[in-house]
Chains A and B, each alone.
Chain A
Amino acid sequence: DVKVTQSSRYLVKRTGEKVFLECVQDMDHENMFWYRQDPGLGLRLIYFSYDVKMKEKGDIPEGYSVSREKKERFSLILESASTNQTSMYLCASSLARIPPYEQYFGPGTRLTVT
């Protein structure tokens, strides 16, 4: 079974703090993704990565950065947390070359910025 784990289920941070969210997958997937999920807005893509040290901006990258130094690990960084970044953050991974390319999601991190 594919397993995607995230470093925290719940996190509370103060405005202006630097926040690290970590994601690890154990199935040698090439692709990894970070989403945020807000009521009424659905899943929105922040960043994704095809391979180690590769990254691509998604639809809402402002205020975020990512790091992928190892294939199994994809980190999301909030450089200076703001209250509008309070959200559920979901990490996902998928294969790149073998269909159906479905994404496997981690359990999510509910981040509150006060």
Chain B
Amino acid sequence: GQNIDQPTEMTATEGAIVQINCTYQTSGFNGLFWYQQHAGEAPTFLSYNVLDGLEEKGRFSSFLSRSKGYSYLLLKELQMKDSASYLCAVRDTGGGTYKYIFGTGTRLKVLA
């Protein structure tokens, strides 16, 4: 079946580093995405991994291991504005079509 798991909630301190994990099981795979969603707003794209390894983009990095069905989003030098939900999503190509499967999201609280 199709399944994406990520922690429901995490808390971290301003200036710290936090790692949000995501594990997935899908029938096909054509990329893993991370989105940020502030309360009451639409999700916005953060990162995309299709090959194994680390992709770095400023304070945010995302890692993928396809053999393990595992990804993480690393946020460095946390700021208060990073308080948001972080959604892990997989582009699933199983069944001859493709669609995006989302996890339920990890709500991150950044404390002063």
Q: Are A103 and B45 closer than 8 Å at their CB atoms?
A: yes
**Interface presence of B44 (CB below 8 A):** yes
Chain A residues within an 8 Å CB radius of B105? 42
B104 near A103 with CB under 8 A, answer no
A56-97 interface bits toward B, Cβ cutoff 8 Å, 1 = contact, 0 = none: 101000000000000000000000000000000010000000
- Judging by beta carbons under 8 Å apart, are A41 and B31 in contact? no
Task: Pick from A33, A48, A101, A105: contact of B44, CB below 8 A.
Answer: A105
Q: Which of B35, B99, B103 contacts A45 (CB 8 A)?
A: B99
Residues on B with beta carbons closer than 8 Å to the beta carbon of A58: 99
B42 touches A42 (CB 8 A): no
Contact (Cβ within 8 A) B104 A42? yes
Residue of B nearest to A90 (CB): B42
In the complex, what residues of B have CB within 8 A of residue A44's CB? Answer: 102
Query: B interface vs A, CB < 8 Å?
Result: 30-31, 33, 35, 41-45, 48, 50, 87, 89, 91, 97, 99-105
Contact A107 B104, beta carbon cutoff 8 Å? no
Q: In the complex the two chains form, is B43's CB within 8 Å of A105's CB?
A: yes
- Contact (Cβ within 8 A) A42 B102: yes
Q: A106 vs B44: C-alpha distance in the bound complex, in angstroms?
A: 10
In angstroms, how far is the closest chain A Cβ from the Cβ of B51? 11
Tell me which residues across on chain A come within 8 A of B44, comparing CB atoms.
105
What residue in chain A is nearest B85 (Cβ atoms)? A42
In contact, B31 and A101 (Cβ under 8 angstroms):
yes
CB-based closest 10 A-B pairs: A100-B48, A42-B104, A105-B42, A102-B45, A43-B102, A42-B102, A105-B43, A107-B42, A42-B105, A108-B42
Closest to A41 in B: B104
Cβ of A107 and Cβ of B99 under 8 Å apart?
Answer: no
A104 and B42 CA atoms in complex are apart in Å by 9
- The reply to whether B87 and A42 form a contact with Cβ atoms under 8 Å apart is yes
Residues 25-61 of chain A: 1 if any B CB is under 8 Å from the residue's CB, otherwise 0?
0000000010100001111110010100000101000
Q: 6 additional contacts, CB 8 Å, given A42-B105, A56-B99, A58-B99?
A: A33-B99, A42-B102, A43-B102, A45-B99, A100-B33, A103-B43
